[in-house]
Chain A
């Protein structure tokens, strides 16, 4: 069964460093999302992406964040200058279509630790 994959599973970085989190969505899906979950808290929407551009972003997704689909398979989240409060689990998700508001398929997550 196709699945969303994410790499790395765990990333440790120093405050102020740039990190890139990678995701490979399910191949025939068109809509891509990033969410994050700070330890012990609920899952929060960051950004949605369709047709090579951002569809929607949350207040969390400020200028330090960017997303890209550099080729036909990868979907990346970049944090330019990490802060301690960026420490969280980051989940990528994909969906065949939001027009029919379908389920989203989540990857296993990348645990980001900022020291």
Chain B
């Protein structure tokens, strides 16, 4: 498998707290992307980080990439109840036509 596990599998926090999710992979990537999925709905692209980047921000989201450890983390700061969803990392490998390889996801629950 090219994709490792995401951890944690489930995360429950209070509104206002930060949420951190991690993702690992096994072979060299072109980029890594994070997607969000509300229950039973489609996937929404959150952020893309390329293999030559180490950190990227978008609003309350911060993504880091450590290619030496083949891992990435997604930090959501000052979480809100509306952030409750499943979060998936997806990797794009070189010479594989751009297909996304998804992790198992982290189910985030933010309690008001």
Please tell me the size bucket of the interface on A: 20 to 34
A45 & B31 in contact (Cβ 8 Å cutoff) = no
The listed residue with most B CB atoms (<10 A of its CB), out of A95, A101, A106, is: A101
In the A-B complex, the 5 residue pairs with the smallest Cβ-Cβ separation, listed nearest first, are A98-B98, A108-B42, A43-B102, A106-B43, A56-B97
User: Which chain A residues lie closer than 8 Å to B103 at the CB level?
Assistant: 42
Centre residue among B88, B90, B97, B105 by max chain A CB count within 10 A:
B97
CB–CB A91/B98 < 8 A: no
Are A33 and B42 neighbours in the complex by a CB distance under 8 Å? no
A43 to B86 alpha-carbon distance, docked (Å): 12
Given A31-B98, A56-B97, A89-B40, 15 additional A-B pairs, CB 8 A: A33-B99, A33-B100, A35-B100, A43-B43, A44-B102, A45-B99, A93-B100, A95-B98, A101-B30, A101-B50, A102-B98, A103-B33, A104-B98, A108-B42, A111-B40
Q: How many Å lie between the Cα of A101 and that of B30 in the bound state?
A: 7
Name the distance in Å between A58's Cβ and chain B's nearest Cβ: 8
- Which residues of A are in contact with B by a Cβ distance under 8 Å? 31, 33, 35, 41-45, 48, 55-56, 89, 91, 93, 95, 98, 101-109, 111
Please determine whether B96 and A42 come into contact, CB atoms closer than 8 angstroms: no
Within 8 A of A (CB), among B26-45: 30-31, 33, 35, 40-45
Cβ-based interface call for B75 (8 A): no
